[in-house]
């Protein structure tokens, strides 16, 4: 059951420039387990959308099947949501995006929904550079069916039942980068200060934005020996940089001449400011990040932050030369060639 | 020797090697008969192969306008040594066998009861053409020239067809005409012509056109307002999307920006293709996909979602022979049950079953209306024969006053006024709820589309009474569908016969001819052609009013 929260809001709640309060971006009360990492991600999505000044009804929340895919009920209740079949959120989102290119598409998926049953669609939505943000709430296990290992569980990670995973885990970020994703980030559900700006930057990116968020499963995969537990991730989290997101047209007052700071200008004019970056890594250099991820693995570290961005990204509708007017707004005049042309087609067929 | 066939009533079969360009030459032959005002039907009987395997092409000429296949071959044009034994034995007694006499025909193939016509196709082409590709391709035109002479086909008709075919590539006309003349001259110099069965000009085709069902459906989708197409290539549906794309690239380009008023995505598989079509329709853009049996199987889960979440979507199933991979290039109508009830649980889908390319066009344009009006999948069931063979058919019609009716979709203004909207509430007692599109209203009308059990407000629910209420309403909706979708057609029905014949799709041609033959023999049979599912009430009435019902 979804529980609807009371609509009442305190009149003095802070509003964003569009006049919405943070409450306008919330959803129903979560039915996930208390302490679930996914709920923190939902909260970060709410904050990011509120702060980014997005009109809630212009967001489409897309998901597949699983614990993670339930979360769209728990944020942005003024947005339409679509709970597709297992592993097929990418295709539905692609179709929705083709039908109306003017909306913001926020896809939420899990490690089973993406790295197993949905692996095919995940790879192809990347290939097509669909303009959407794709968040994986990654806990390395199947929660709803009681804790089986998923394909992202690390080799050697121990499950609650004491079973040691004998298979290599799939690194979704590495995969996404290899497949040509134009925005790839990794974060931790327990680090909102990092996650919120990442979500804001992802939502502002034109093209496919991927965020892999390690999101511990408190019920089935938060035990000792698990590499997706709160304790393990906190201990092994290695932030590549700290990051701020500076929305479009916001005045920049600080000077950025420090060597350890990099500014990345986004398609729409907003900026990502990366602080304390390592000289060995550049988020616009694919090879440097692939190498950094591999090195971090040998050190048993989980790299987080913005990993890769391609600012030359051309999203799907541009690639296939679709008209700027959303296709769902076209009417007879643009769609139907009419009887005169049909008669000439008839003539050509005689 | 006896030959039963006569003027404008005979069958010609071509035996070719796949991938040698023969199909277009054979179609040229069929089209020339059509242009002489005589009804004709052409069937390409081809293998699932790119090059090398035997392929046949059969043309039936019928003054009475019968378009089904007919038993017995009057003239066999044999250009494939692989299949010669089978081909020669399939000619009916008194018939003709035209073969490439460059090499002597083996004695074992000779038959006393048929006429042998040798034309040295290879020798002629080797002598007259230099380019190796032309030597191969023009063999086809040489035999067309030969049979045109034998069957009294007007050469000017064929030269007109060349002119149409090579518009913009005019230099190809002369060598084609030359090849045609070479075949024709060889007959003139060596054989008696015309044959006792032949073509005579008539005025029997009226304003008919010749087109295949896939091309017609693709055009129908353009006229029906489809703007998002997602698909995965599969024989025999592929050319349907190609047709949409070809017409859209001509007719759907924004004149000012040069941008496309449509989008086409080749998906990674059929699961994704139907997912994209569902996503686009959910967002209010008319969208479809096309597939064949194996694709339908893959799409089943998504069809169940669209049924339960009540999302319009249009799917065309160009059926081929199953089970499994079956025979990809052979026609069959064996997907009806799996389409009607595709997906697990209690589901039922609307089917449209055209018989002609004209109906493919019409039903395709209407399918989007039905899908949006009913908020459910609509599956148009064609088959390889209808989809891939050119049929003589009625011209397409379009009423310029026709507006796209988008079904029960609430506007921003509607949402302002409505007090207690629920996505799955049955306000009008027809089982069809009111839907909203994303981004319509800043604070009203949003809901969560889901394949899980839900209540009238789209909220998750496992309550038994709620579940039953929603499921019953879906049944009611499909009852409403019966009144919307096309009812059956009746052929020569007198209501005097105890026997009722029920048929659908491409069996129309053979069935109606059989009924006429029975009538000539003094037997009256009532007949009904089903054009949609769920069945109209008249279907039940017809079955009830006949003692014996035969399904064809």
pLDDT tens figures, B318-370: 999 999 999 999 999 999 999 999 999 999 999 999 999 999 999 999 999 99
Q: Does the residue B401 lie in any domain?
A: no
The 3-state secondary structure of chain A reads: CCECCCCCCCCCCCECCCCCEHHHHECCECCCCCCCHHHHHHHHHHHHHHHHCCCHHHEEEEECCCHHHHHHHHECCCCEEEECCCCCHHHHHHHHHHHCCCCEEEEEEEHHHHHCCCHHHHHHHHHCCCCEEEEEEECCEECCCCCEECCCCCCCCECCCCCECCCCCCCHHHHHHHHCCCEEEEEECCCHHHHHHHHHHHHHCCCEEEEEEECCCCCCCCCCCCCCCHHHHHHHEEECCEEEEECCCCCCCCCCCCCCCEEEECCCCCEEEEECCCCCCCCCCHHHHHHHHHHHHHCCCEEEEEEEECCCCCCHHHHCCECCCCHHHCCHHHHCCCHHHHHHHHHHCC
ipTM of the complex in this document:
0.95
Q: Does the residue B197 lie in any domain?
A: no
Size of interface A-B (CB pairs under 8 A): 235
Nearest CA in chain A to B225: A335
> Which pLDDT tens digit goes with each residue over B284-319?
999 999 999 999 999 999 999 999 999 999 999 999
Domain boundaries, position B505: 489-551
Q: Is the pLDDT of residue A257 over 70?
A: no
The mean pLDDT value for B399-411 works out to 97
Q: Does the residue B533 lie in any domain?
A: yes
Q: Does the residue B88 lie in any domain?
A: yes
For residues B265 and B170, membership in a common domain is answered with: no
Confirm or reject contact between B268 and chain A (CB < 8 A).
yes
Closest CA to A93 of B188, A103, B320: A103
How many angstroms separate the CA atoms of A121 and B210, rounded?
40
Nearest CA in chain B to A320: B263
Q: Is the pLDDT of residue B494 over 90?
A: no
How many angstroms separate the CA atoms of A73 and A69, rounded?
9
Nearest CA in chain A to B224: A336
How many angstroms separate the CA atoms of B552 and B549, rounded?
10
Q: Does the residue A141 lie in any domain?
A: yes
Chain A residues in contact with B251 (beta carbon < 8 A): 337, 341
How many angstroms separate the CA atoms of A30 and A58, rounded?
22
Q: Is the pLDDT of residue A254 over 60?
A: no
Q: Does the residue B406 lie in any domain?
A: no
> Which pLDDT tens digit goes with each residue over A68-105?
999 999 999 999 999 999 999 999 999 999 999 999 99
B443/A78 CB distance under 8 A? yes
Q: Does the residue A50 lie in any domain?
A: yes
The shortest CB-CB distance from B280 to any of A98, A348, A349 is to A98
Phi, then psi, of A205 in degrees rounded to 5: -75, 135
For residues B169 and B142, membership in a common domain is answered with: yes
Chain A residues in contact with B222 (beta carbon < 8 A): 335-337
Q: Which of B131, B159, B190 is the last residue of a domain?
A: B190
B338, B360 contact by CB (below 8 A):
no
For residues B229 and B360, membership in a common domain is answered with: yes
Q: Is the pLDDT of residue B451 over 70?
A: yes
Q: Is the pLDDT of residue B399 over 60?
A: yes
| Sign of the dihedral through C-alpha B276, B277, B281, B282 | negative
Residue A340 CB neighbours (<10 A): 10
Closest CA to B345 of B308, B296, B314, B377: B308
Q: Does the residue A17 lie in any domain?
A: no
H-run or E-run covering B238:
helix B238-251
Q: Is the pLDDT of residue B38 over 50?
A: yes
For residues B516 and B470, membership in a common domain is answered with: no
For residues B438 and B480, membership in a common domain is answered with: yes
For residues B127 and B13, membership in a common domain is answered with: yes
For residues B454 and B547, membership in a common domain is answered with: no
A1 — pLDDT class (breaks 50, 70, 90): very low
Burial of B429 (0-12, 13-18, 19+ CB in 10 A): exposed
Confirm or reject contact between A29 and chain B (CB < 8 A).
no
> Which pLDDT tens digit goes with each residue over B133-191?
999 999 999 999 999 999 999 999 999 999 999 999 999 999 999 999 999 999 999 99
A342/B223 CB distance under 8 A? yes
Residue A327 CB neighbours (<10 A): 27
Q: Is the pLDDT of residue A207 over 50?
A: yes
Q: Is the pLDDT of residue A124 over 80?
A: yes
Chain B residues in contact with A18 (beta carbon < 8 A): none
B50 — pLDDT class (breaks 50, 70, 90): confident
For residues B17 and B151, membership in a common domain is answered with: yes
The mean pLDDT value for B116-127 works out to 97
Q: List residues bridging with B291 in a β-sheet.
A: B317
B51 — pLDDT class (breaks 50, 70, 90): confident
CA distance B172 to chain A (A): 20
Domain boundaries, position A45: 22-329
Which residues numbered 298-337 in B keep a CB inside 8 Å of some CB on A? Answer: 301-302, 305
Q: Is the pLDDT of residue A255 over 60?
A: no
The shortest CB-CB distance from A95 to any of B222, B275, B305 is to B275
Q: Does the residue B400 lie in any domain?
A: no
Nearest CA in chain A to B288: A95
Q: What is the CATH number of the domain that holds A159?
A: 3.40.50.970
Q: What percent of chain A stands above pLDDT 70?
A: 94
Peptide bond before residue B534 is cis, with ω within 30 degrees of 0? yes
A10 — pLDDT class (breaks 50, 70, 90): confident
A273 — pLDDT class (breaks 50, 70, 90): confident
Q: Which of B484, B503, B529 is the last residue of a domain?
A: B484
The mean pLDDT value for A3-8 works out to 61
The mean pLDDT value for B36-53 works out to 93
Arithmetic mean of pLDDT over chain A: 92
Q: What percent of chain B stands above pLDDT 90?
A: 93
For residues B159 and B268, membership in a common domain is answered with: no
Q: Is the pLDDT of residue B505 over 90?
A: yes
Confirm or reject contact between B229 and chain A (CB < 8 A).
no
Domain count, chain A: 1
The mean pLDDT value for B454-466 works out to 97
Nearest CA in chain B to A59: B439
Chain A residues in contact with B219 (beta carbon < 8 A): 345
The shortest CB-CB distance from B282 to any of A57, A96, A346 is to A96
Q: For position A267, what pLDDT does the model report? A: 82
Q: Does the residue A11 lie in any domain?
A: no
Which residues numbered 390-409 in B keep a CB inside 8 Å of some CB on A? Answer: 395-400, 403-404
For residues B25 and B162, membership in a common domain is answered with: yes
Q: Is the pLDDT of residue B258 over 60?
A: yes
| pTM across the whole model | 0.96
Q: Does the residue A7 lie in any domain?
A: no
The mean pLDDT value for A297-312 works out to 93
A184 CB-side CA count, 13 A? 25
For residues B432 and B463, membership in a common domain is answered with: yes
How many angstroms separate the CA atoms of B460 and A31, rounded?
11
For residues B380 and B445, membership in a common domain is answered with: no
Q: Is the pLDDT of residue A7 over 50?
A: yes
Q: Is the pLDDT of residue B1 over 50?
A: no
Looking only at the bridges linking them, the beta strands covering A271-275 and B526-530 are unpaired
Arithmetic mean of pLDDT over chain B: 96
CA distance B461 to chain A (A): 6
The mean pLDDT value for B64-93 works out to 95
Domain count, chain B: 4
How many angstroms separate the CA atoms of B95 and B4, rounded?
9
């Amino acid at each position: 059951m979804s529980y609807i929260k009371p609509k009442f809001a305190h009149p003095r709640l802070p509003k964003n420039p569009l006049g919405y309060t943070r409450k306008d971006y919330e959803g129903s009360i979560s039915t996930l387990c208390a302490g679930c990492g996914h709920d923190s991600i939902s909260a970060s999505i709410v904050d990011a959308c509120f702060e980014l000044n997005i009109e809630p009804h212009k967001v489409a929340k897309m998901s597949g099947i699983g614990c993670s895919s339930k979360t769209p009920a728990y944020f942005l209740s003024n947005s339409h949501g679509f709970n597709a079949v297992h592993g097929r959120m990418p295709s539905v989102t692609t179709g929705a995006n083709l039908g109306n290119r003017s909306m913001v598409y926020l896809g939420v998926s899990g490690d089973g929904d993406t790295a197993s049953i949905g692996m095919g669609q995940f790879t192809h939505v990347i290939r097509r550079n669909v303009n959407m943000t794709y968040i994986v709430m990654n806990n390395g296990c199947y929660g709803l069916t009681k804790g089986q290992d998923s394909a992202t569980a690390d080799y050697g990670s121990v499950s609650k039942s004491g079973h040691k995973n004998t298979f290599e885990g799939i690194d979704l970020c590495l995969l996404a980068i290899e497949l040509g994703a134009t925005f790839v980030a990794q974060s931790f559900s327990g680090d909102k200060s990092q996650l919120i700006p990442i979500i804001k930057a992802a939502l502002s990116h034109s093209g496919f934005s991927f965020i892999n968020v390690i999101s511990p499963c408190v019920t089935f995969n938060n035990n000792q020996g698990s590499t997706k537990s709160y304790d393990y991730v906190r201990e092994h989290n290695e932030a590549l940089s700290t990051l701020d997101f500076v929305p479009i047209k916001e005045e920049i007052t600080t000077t950025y001449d420090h060597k350890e700071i990099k500014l990345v200008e986004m398609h729409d004019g907003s900026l990502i400011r990366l602080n304390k970056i390592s000289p060995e890594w550049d988020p616009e250099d694919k090879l440097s990040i692939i190498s950094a991820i591999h090195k971090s693995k040998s050190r048993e570290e989980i790299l987080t932050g913005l990993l890769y961005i391609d600012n030359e990204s051309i999203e799907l509708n541009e690639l296939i030369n679709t008209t700027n007017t959303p296709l769902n707004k076209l009417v007879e005049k643009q769609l139907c060639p009419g009887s005169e042309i049909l008669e000439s087609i008839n003539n050509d067929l005689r | 020797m006896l030959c039963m066939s006569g003027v404008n009533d005979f069958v010609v079969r071509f035996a070719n090697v796949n991938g040698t360009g023969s199909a277009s030459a054979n179609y040229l032959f069929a089209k020339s008969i059509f242009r002489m005002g005589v009804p004709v039907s052409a069937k390409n009987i081809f293998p699932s192969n790119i090059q090398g395997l035997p392929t046949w092409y059969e043309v039936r000429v019928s003054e009475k306008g019968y378009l089904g296949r007919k038993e017995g071959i009057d003239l066999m044009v044999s250009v494939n040594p692989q299949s010669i034994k089978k081909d020669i034995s399939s000619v009916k007694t008194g018939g003709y066998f035209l073969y490439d006499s460059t090499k002597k025909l083996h004695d074992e193939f000779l038959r006393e009861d048929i006429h042998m016509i040798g034309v040295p196709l290879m020798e002629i082409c080797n002598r007259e053409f230099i380019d190796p590709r032309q030597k191969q391709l023009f063999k086809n035109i040489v035999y067309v020239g030969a049979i045109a002479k034998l069957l009294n086909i007007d050469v000017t008709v064929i030269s007109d067809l060349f002119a149409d075919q090579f518009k913009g590539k005019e230099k190809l006309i002369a060598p084609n005409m030359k090849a045609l003349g070479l075949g024709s001259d060889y007959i003139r110099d060596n054989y008696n012509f015309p044959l006792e069965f032949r073509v005579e000009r008539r005025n029997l085709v009226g304003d008919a056109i010749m087109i295949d069902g896939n091309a017609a459906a693709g055009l129908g989708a353009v006229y029906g307002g489809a703007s998002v197409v997602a698909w995965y290539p599969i024989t025999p549906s592929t050319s349907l999307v190609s047709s949409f794309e070809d017409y859209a690239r001509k007719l759907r380009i924004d004149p000012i920006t040069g941008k496309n008023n449509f989008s086409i995505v080749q998906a990674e598989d059929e699961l994704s293709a139907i997912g994209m079509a569902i996503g686009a329709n959910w967002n209010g853009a008319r969208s479809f996909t096309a597939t064949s049996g194996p694709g339908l199987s893959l799409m089943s889960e998504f069809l169940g979602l669209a049924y339960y979440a009540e999302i319009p979507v249009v799917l065309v199933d160009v059926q081929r022979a199953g089970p499994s991979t079956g025979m990809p290039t052979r026609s069959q109508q064996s997907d009806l049950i799996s389409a009607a009830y595709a997906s697990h649980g209690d589901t039922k889908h609307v089917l449209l079953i055209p018989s002609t390319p004209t109906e493919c066009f019409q039903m395709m344009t209407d399918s989007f209306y039905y899908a949006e009006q009913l908020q459910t999948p609509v599956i148009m069931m064609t088959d390889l024969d209808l989809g891939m063979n050119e049929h003589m058919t009625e011209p397409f019609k379009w009423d310029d006053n026709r507006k796209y009716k988008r079904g029960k979709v609430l506007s921003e203004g509607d949402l302002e006024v409505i007090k207690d909207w629920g996505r799955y509430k049955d306000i009008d007692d027809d089982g069809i709820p009111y839907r909203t599109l994303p981004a319509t209203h800043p604070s009203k009308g949003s809901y969560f589309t889901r394949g899980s059990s839900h209540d009238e407000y789209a909220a998750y629910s496992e309550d038994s009474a709620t579940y039953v209420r929603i499921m019953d309403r879906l049944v009611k909706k499909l009852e409403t569908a019966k009144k919307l979708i096309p009812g059956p057609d009746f052929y020569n029905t007198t209501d005097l016969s105890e026997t009722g014949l029920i048929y659908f799709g491409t069996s129309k041609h053979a069935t109606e001819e059989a009924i006429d033959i029975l009538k000539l023999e003094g037997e009256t049979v009532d007949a009904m052609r089903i054009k949609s599912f769920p069945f109209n009430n008249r279907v039940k009435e017809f079955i009830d009013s006949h003692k014996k019902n035969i399904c064809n």
